[in-house]
């Protein structure tokens, strides 16, 4: 078998009111090169290569192993090279790319017995929630709803080409577990109604290219008010982004990356304003202007 490369996009979960059910794929990628080998070998490159485990504890390899456990077949021995461009523990779906990369590697090695939707279902079980893995596997913006038998129903959401994401990525990390610990077990009925209405407005605004609807729809009462204190100076960063034309600012996934939605014409001004706001608080950060990835996970053959 010729070696192959799996490319998986970053993703931003929740997108404001869509807590644990809405996510979008972004034009930032991790790459996984896989080939048959006589012994396991894991290498890494890219700006975050030093964070990648080079042994069987590697998340990509663990997902590869779980794929063959799922099939009930012995796994082949492989070499695995990981090219890492998505920062870890920043709320941009880095762990989702690793899970998907391992599952897709197993699927290709096994002759592709599972469809992309089945890969998504399996990845959701491993990750524990579907909002990152759905767009990372299938691309675009995806709304995910629980279905019968524990399976998820996928509802693609049109994301108008006029909107881009501006991610402000601070140097500090925030674990998903810590971000979940601060959430209440119950919320007021009014807050639940608020999010239902705002999610509906957001989806309509994204699909129709209506900036006023997107601006209104990005508001949330289910998770961001409880998580905001975990991200220093979030209010200041948000205020500066809005001053420079952002339609809204949300916590990307569990954070600490902040995602602003805007248009390409003012995207750099928004990003620079967010970075400067954090800089005033002694926090270094970078920004990226990212479009919506429309393809999701892609497999290509490597040259022989």
- Smallest CA-to-CA distance from 297 within 112, 160, 155, 125 is with 112
Say which CATH architecture domain 4-157+292-301 belongs to. 2-Layer Sandwich (3.30)
Query: What pLDDT does residue 83 have?
Result: 97
Q: Which pLDDT score is estimated for 162? A: 94
Residue intervals in the chain for CATH 3.30.230.10: 4-157+292-301
pTM: 0.94
| Intervals of the chain under pLDDT 70 | 1, 147
CATH topology of domain 163-290: Alpha-Beta Plaits (3.30.70)
284 Cβ contact list (under 8 Å, min separation 6): 170, 171, 278
Pairwise CA distance, residues 6 & 299, whole Å: 5
What pLDDT does residue 176 have? 83
Residues of the chain with CATH 3.30.70.890: 163-290
The pLDDT value recorded for residue 297 is 98
For residue range 106-127, list pLDDT tens digits in order.
999 999 999 999 999 999 999 9
Bond from prior residue into 256 cis (ω within 30 degrees of 0): yes
Quote the pLDDT of residue 217: 98
Q: Are 107 and 6 in contact (CB under 8 A)?
A: no
Each residue of 160-203: pLDDT tens digit?
Answer: 999 999 999 999 988 888 889 999 999 999 999 999 999 999 99
Distance CA 123, CA 301 (A): 23
Instruction: Please tell me the predicted confidence (pLDDT) of residue 1.
Output: 59
Query: Where are the extended beta strands (E) located within the chain?
Result: 4-13, 22-36, 41-45, 78-83, 141-146, 152-157, 163-170, 248-251, 258-263, 285-290, 298-301
């Amino acid at each position: 078998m010729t070696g192959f490369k799996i490319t998986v996009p970053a993703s931003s979960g929740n997108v404001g009111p869509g807590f644990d059910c809405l996510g979008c794929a972004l034009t930032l990628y991790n790459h996984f090169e896989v080939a048959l080998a006589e012994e396991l070998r894991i290498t890494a490159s890219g700006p975050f290569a030093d964070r990648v485990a080079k042994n069987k504890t590697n998340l990509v390899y663990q997902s590869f192993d779980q794929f063959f456990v799922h099939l009930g077949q012995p796994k082949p021995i492989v070499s695995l090279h990981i090219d890492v461009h998505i920062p870890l523990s920043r709320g941009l779906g880095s762990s989702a790319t690793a899970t998907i990369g391992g599952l897709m590697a197993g699927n290709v090695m096994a002759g592709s017995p599972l469809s992309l939707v089945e890969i998504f279902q399996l990845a959701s079980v491993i990750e524990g929630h579907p909002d990152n893995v759905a767009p990372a596997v299938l691309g675009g913006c995806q709304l995910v709803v629980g279905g019968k038998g524990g399976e998820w129903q996928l509802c693609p959401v049109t994301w108008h080409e006029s909107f881009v994401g501006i991610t402000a990525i601070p140097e500090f990390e925030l674990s998903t577990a810590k971000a979940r610990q601060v959430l209440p077990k119950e919320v007021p009925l009014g807050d639940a109604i608020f999010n239902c209405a705002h999610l509906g407005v957001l989806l309509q605004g994204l699909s129709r290219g209506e900036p006023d609807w997107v601006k209104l729809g990005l508001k949330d009462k289910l998770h961001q008010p409880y998580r905001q204190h975990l991200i220093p100076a979030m209010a200041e960063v948000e205020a500066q982004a809005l001053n420079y034309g952002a339609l809204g600012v949300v916590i990307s996934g569990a954070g600490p990356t902040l995602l602003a939605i805007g248009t390409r014409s003012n995207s750099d001004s928004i990003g620079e304003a967010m970075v400067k706001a954090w800089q005033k608080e002694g926090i270094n950060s970078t920004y990226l202007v990212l479009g919506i990835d429309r393809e999701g996970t892609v497999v290509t053959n490597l040259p022989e």
